């Protein structure tokens, strides 16, 4: 969407059949569209840690950014505040905070390569690294251990992992892609 206002209009349109619990504008203004205890239609089809129907088990936050520029400071500050509140209310661990590209590789790419996951990790609002414990060097196995749906196309899986953990990497699968999942 071209603006937070346009996103809110679309998310409130019954014909569109999409919604979210919150929208955060570039200005930092937070608009709640759906109560947290109700289901929103923000996620669509996807899987995370082997679970489907992400809409029924998540709180959706839409961010006013088209991925062509960094996220604004007011937006990030509001997101940090809102995440902390939601995590406290619902006892959500940092590992439970994910982006659309995490649970729907190949179908969703947001929040995109300019999203500052590291900033949120420093505040313990998202996982600092993928879960450890898998010693197999196979990328698909490592990605599955981190929570990704490994039934998607290999290129989509690689893109999703890179959008979250290895944003500077390009080209074919490399040893560095394995390393970020073992960190």
Q: Is 62 among the residues known to form the active site? A: yes
Report how far apart, in Å, the C-alpha atoms of 80 and of each of 12, 72, 132, 156 are.
24, 12, 25, 28
- Active-site residue, from 5, 9, 36, 62: 62
| Contact criterion met (CB below 8 Å) for 120 and 97 | yes
46-57 core/surface letters (b: 16 or more CB in 10 A; e: else):
bbbeeeeebbee
108-143 core/surface letters (b: 16 or more CB in 10 A; e: else):
bbebbeebebeebeeeebbbeebeeebeeeebeebb
User: Hey, which residues are catalytic here?
Assistant: 62
């Amino acid at each position: 969407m071209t603006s937070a206002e346009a996103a809110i209009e679309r998310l409130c349109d019954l014909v569109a059949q999409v919604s979210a619990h919150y929208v955060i504008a570039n200005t930092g203004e937070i608009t709640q569209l759906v109560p947290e205890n109700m289901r929103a239609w923000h996620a669509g089809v996807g899987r995370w840690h082997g679970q489907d129907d992400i809409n029924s088990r998540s709180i959706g936050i839409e961010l006013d950014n088209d991925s062509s520029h960094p996220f604004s400071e007011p937006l990030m500050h509001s997101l940090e505040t809102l995440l902390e509140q939601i995590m406290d209310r619902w006892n959500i661990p940092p590992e439970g905070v994910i982006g659309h590209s995490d649970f729907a590789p190949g179908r969703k790419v947001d929040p995109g390569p300019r999203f500052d996951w590291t900033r949120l990790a420093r505040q313990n609002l998202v996982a600092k690294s993928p879960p450890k414990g898998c010693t197999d060097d196979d990328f698909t196995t490592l990605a599955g251990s981190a929570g990704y749906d490994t039934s998607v196309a290999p290129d989509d899986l690689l893109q999703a992992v890179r959008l979250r953990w290895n944003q500077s990497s390009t080209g074919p699968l490399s040893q560095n892609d394995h390393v970020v999942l073992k960190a």
